[in-house]
Amino acid sequence: MPKIPLDEWVEKGVDVLESNCAFLFQIISDCIEGSVNAFSSFFHFFPALLFITWITILANYLGRWPFAVFSATGLLLVDNLGYWSHTMDTLALVMTSSLISILIGIPLGVWCAQSEKVRNFVTPLMDFMQTMPAFVYLIPAVTFFGLGVVPGVIASVIFAVPPTIRLTNLGIRQVSEDLVEAADAFGSTATQKLFKLQFPLAMPTIMAGINQTIMLALSMVVIASMIGAQGIGADVYRAVTQIKTGQGFEAGLSIVVLAILLDRMMQYILKKKWSV
């Protein structure tokens, strides 16, 4: 039985997109790079000690004093190890990837909740996005956008957006049918029903999806560093290629501190605002 030339079809499709949509890819690249640079400039603008103080105060407000102590200790350790600047670069990449994922994921999740046909089409697509090895995304991303932070963000978005879509869809679908019928009986429009009823009740579930998206975006920083994205991932990748265990541990520990801070802050925000 002859082999299906799937690889040739994919490469031809990539060539067609590269030839006919170069201007669109350039616009997307400029927007993403501008966003990453804006976040990075903002995070680098403040002295490390001032930034750590603000994060500690916020951690104490959102959680309890042990979390504030961990925040201060962890960030001071990152600064002491010399990874503060790279941590801010990584945070800029994660924030950009997460913001794009949220802007795509929430509207698409709402659409899935409102249409069975859309949900049936998007669900297997998300399964594909989450099960395909992340390294595969880097090939077309580099082809379309070149080396640097942009293809890293694109690959992160592809990998990280499904949880926001899935849990937005789930949260809206879990809103009681009785409440939806009551809103219809009072003459609410679809927009009023969505923003005044479904969104508030589904928000804890949506926020859980956003939290997962942020964590998945952070998990991509090392892979993104393989194609030129800066940040702590580049330090981890360099340590692996040079077999420097100590340096790799230090850089990995910085990622762990950042991951725990982002995760716990999202959880505390969820509990504080919606009491779940």
* Residue closest to 36 by CA, chosen among 134, 163, 152: 152
At residue 211, does pLDDT exceed 60? yes
As a whole number, the mean pLDDT across the chain is 82
pLDDT at 273: 62
pLDDT at 180: 78
* Digit-coded pLDDT (tens) for 163-185: 899 999 888 888 887 787 787 77
Distance CA 262, CA 87 (A): 13
At residue 275, does pLDDT exceed 60? no
3-state class of 156 per DSSP? helix
* Digit-coded pLDDT (tens) for 70-106: 889 989 998 888 888 888 888 888 889 888 999 999 9
| pTM given for the model | 0.84
Q: What is the mean pLDDT of residues 107-127?
A: 87
* Residue closest to 254 by CA, chosen among 211, 221, 225: 221
**Position with higher pLDDT, 41 vs 142:** 41
Q: Which CATH architecture has domain 8-45+82-274?
A: Orthogonal Bundle (1.10)
pLDDT at 1: 67
Residue 171 tokens read as: 């949260």
Q: What is the mean pLDDT of residues 113-129?
A: 85
At residue 144, does pLDDT exceed 70? yes
Buried b (16+ CB within 10 A) or exposed e, 39-69: bbeebeeeebeebbeebbebbbebbeeebbe
Distance CA 273, CA 17 (A): 44
**CB-based contact 128:174 (threshold 8 Å):** no
pLDDT at 276: 43
* Digit-coded pLDDT (tens) for 15-51: 777 777 777 878 888 888 888 889 888 888 888 889 8
In the chain, the N- to C-terminal Cα span, in Å, equals 57
Phi, psi at 87, each rounded to 5°: -65, -40
**CB-based contact 141:155 (threshold 8 Å):** yes
